[in-house]
A and B are shown apart, each in its own frame.
Chain A
Amino acid sequence: MRFSFFHLMPYGAVDLDAIEHTAWINFSNSNYDPKEGHKLYNRYLDELEYADELGFDGICVNEHHQTAYGIMPQPSVLAGALSRRTENAKICVLGRALPLTENPLSIAEEYAMIDNVTGGRLIAGFVRGIGCEYHSYMVNPSSSLAKFHEAHELIMQAWTQPGPTSFEGKYYRFQYVNMWPRPYQQPHPPVWIPSQGSSETKDWASHPDRKYTMLMTFSPIANVVRNMNAYSDKCDEYGYKCQPDQLGWALPLYVAETDEKAIEEVRPHIENFFNKFVLAPTEYRMPPGYSSINSYKMIMENKMKFREQYLSIEMLMENGMFICGSPSTVSEKLEEYQSQMGYGNLVIMGQFATLDHEHTKKSMQMFAEEVMPKLRHIGEPNAAAAE
């Protein structure tokens, strides 16, 4: 099992009462104080660096725009900062939202630079970005999926084919694709696809030409299990055995001395996360064309209904969107879930919403020292399928 520490970098200094309707798109940035922001960025970078010291295999950043939910609109800036301050951990950008940029080669360049500086410690995440970003960036959601695929193709061409080459797409056209630098890792850095588990994504990521790691993010455990199993089944259909490394699970997680103490310490913060920082009406999250009509209807039916209610820590633990407890409780749960899904990558979000630095560090340390060693041996590659 490989463990990564993921940071959303929320604007935790926000006045929670100011978040009434949403924390996204048009939640005024007059609620942002740069002096607090300065402190938070540096604190959060300290936490990511601390994860490296503690022996996490990866440290992760990601991209969101115009929201208190996460203040990393340009994650590669912070990945660059981490490149020189960390020694061992992979630096995972989970991910850059390909369709949001006019020129995907700029993402190929950022990633290749980080990969070169770190001598091959980059994990390259590719996402479409959530629905809200399409309002904020005014990118037409109806071409999001097509642009994602075309941008991915362009980036891979830039990384793997000796230049100059040319690229003729519907959305992107280049006479000279000839990127300096080339990526350090050959043929290219490992690719992770953070996902909510659409069947299109599973089919595409698991294809033998790609075998990209599907990282299930912030979903009820039943969804995570179903989607990981469906991904493995798809690998079988393609005629190969899914490796644990191809499956990842990302979720908020908190460890304390006892189950009771964990719940008591973390309750307001995880509830702030799911009820305040995540808050966005359906129309904000689901712009037209962002998903197919069928997926749209399914998401409306399942997810949106669930989110209409106040989510208590008990409900979140019950449906597996959040794990917390003593080291032994947390280890047992993770081990049991792993046996159901076979994932080899666990990505924990150890800070969320308003959780303070001291508790974040305490939980990280307990996880690294008391949970990770117990789970190291599971989720390793199957020797039989390794050739």
Chain B
Amino acid sequence: MADHKAETIDINGCATEVRRGGSGPTLLFLHGAGGISAWAPYLDALAERYDVIAPSHPGFGGSDDPEWLDNISDMAFFYLDFMEELGLEDVHLVGNSLGGWIASEIAVRSTDRIKTLTLVSAAGVNVVGVPMGDIFLWSNEEAAQKMFFNQEIAEQRIAAAAEMTDEQKDVQLKNYFTTGKLSWNPRFHNPDLIKWLHRVKVPTMLLWGENDNIFPPVYGEAYRDAIPGSELRIIPECGHLPHQEKLEDFLAGVDANISKN
């Protein structure tokens, strides 16, 4: 396992939990609605070739839930501050789901510190006529089943959830509450975002599970059509979390995009 540490960094008064490990070019990983609870295998794999920085968003995990956090725009500006505060340059920005949405919102505001962008099953856009899966009506069990193509993984997740400590359950609730706050309506997207995605001029890769039950692959196509020169890779037999379900494909996609630059 790569050397890594977890620390709390103050960003303009917001205590932010940051996991960091590995060495190489800087890679900022923005997590999805489920948060980051540990130095996960996909972070470890990335850390073999990158300096991986994986914060918990404000309102998630061990980070503060600040008063000012109302919407995804607040989150995007927070990360512009975050990169400035940590002095990050030439960042390879990777975001999954909710984190992918945040990453796009950062990129339309400024790519000054961003070298490449990789969106993995990203929220943020809407495709009229193709409904998203409504995660807010799913039970935990149903959510696990719909999150993965491989139902063995879903069953492992369900079994693991039954073993969760009270502290872990509290974090899970916190993540769930903040996800609701950021994405209830408009549901998991910002209608204005698509108008400005043409401003993203860094190499962009879109990685999508073929069997994503939340944002079907056509959502990836919408991103591809909106971001000039972007590439969409559909990962077969894969649900909403390619970095967890199809690690090799995920890593190959990230590397391919980063090597373009």
Interface string of A25-60 (1 = CB under 8 A from B): 110000000000000000000000000000000000
Stretch in A137-145, A173-181, A182-190, A343-351 with 4+ CB within 8 Å of B: A137-145
A35 to B166 CA separation, bound complex (whole angstroms): 51
B174: which A residues are within 8 A, CB to CB? Answer: 293
Q: A288-B179, A293-B177, A297-B173 are in contact. Are A141 and B184 (CB under 8 A)?
A: yes
Name the interface size band of chain B: 10 to 19
Q: Is there contact, CB below 8 Å, between B173 and A293?
A: yes
Q: Is there contact, CB below 8 Å, between B184 and A283?
A: no
A138 to B180 CA separation, bound complex (whole angstroms): 11
Q: Is there contact, CB below 8 Å, between B184 and A138?
A: yes
Chain A nearest CB from B170 CB (Å) reads: 7
Q: Is there contact, CB below 8 Å, between A283 and B181?
A: no
Interface string of A257-288 (1 = CB under 8 A from B): 00000000000000000000000011110011
A266 to B176 CA separation, bound complex (whole angstroms): 41
Q: Select one of A139, A288, A293, A296 contacting B136, CB under 8 A.
A: A288
A296 to B187 CA separation, bound complex (whole angstroms): 22
CB of A135 within 8 Å of the partner chain: yes
Name the interface size band of chain A: 20 to 34
Q: Is there contact, CB below 8 Å, between B137 and A135?
A: yes
Q: Is there contact, CB below 8 Å, between A288 and B187?
A: no
Chain B nearest CB from A173 CB (Å) reads: 15
Q: Is there contact, CB below 8 Å, between B139 and A288?
A: no
A296 to B136 CA separation, bound complex (whole angstroms): 15
A296: which B residues are within 8 A, CB to CB? Answer: 173
CB of A208 within 8 Å of the partner chain: no
A288: which B residues are within 8 A, CB to CB? Answer: 136, 173, 176-177, 179-181
Q: Taking each of B139, B179, B181, B187, which has the highest tally of chain A beta carbons within 10 Å of its own beta carbon? A: B181
Chain B nearest CB from A131 CB (Å) reads: 10
A143 to B184 CA separation, bound complex (whole angstroms): 11
CB of A289 within 8 Å of the partner chain: yes
Q: Is there contact, CB below 8 Å, between A289 and B170?
A: no
A282: which B residues are within 8 A, CB to CB? Answer: 139
Residue of B nearest to A140 (CB): B184
Q: Is there contact, CB below 8 Å, between B139 and A287?
A: no
B181: which A residues are within 8 A, CB to CB? Answer: 140, 142-143, 288-289
Chain A nearest CB from B129 CB (Å) reads: 18
Residue of A nearest to B175 (CB): A288
B180: which A residues are within 8 A, CB to CB? Answer: 140-142, 287-289
Chain B nearest CB from A63 CB (Å) reads: 19
Chain A nearest CB from B179 CB (Å) reads: 7
A293: which B residues are within 8 A, CB to CB? Answer: 170, 173-174, 177
A142 to B71 CA separation, bound complex (whole angstroms): 11
In order of increasing CB-CB distance, the 4 nearest A-B pairs are A288-B180, A142-B181, A140-B184, A138-B185
Question: Which A residues form the contact surface with B (CB < 8 A)?
Answer: 25-26, 134-135, 138-143, 281-284, 287-289, 293, 296-297
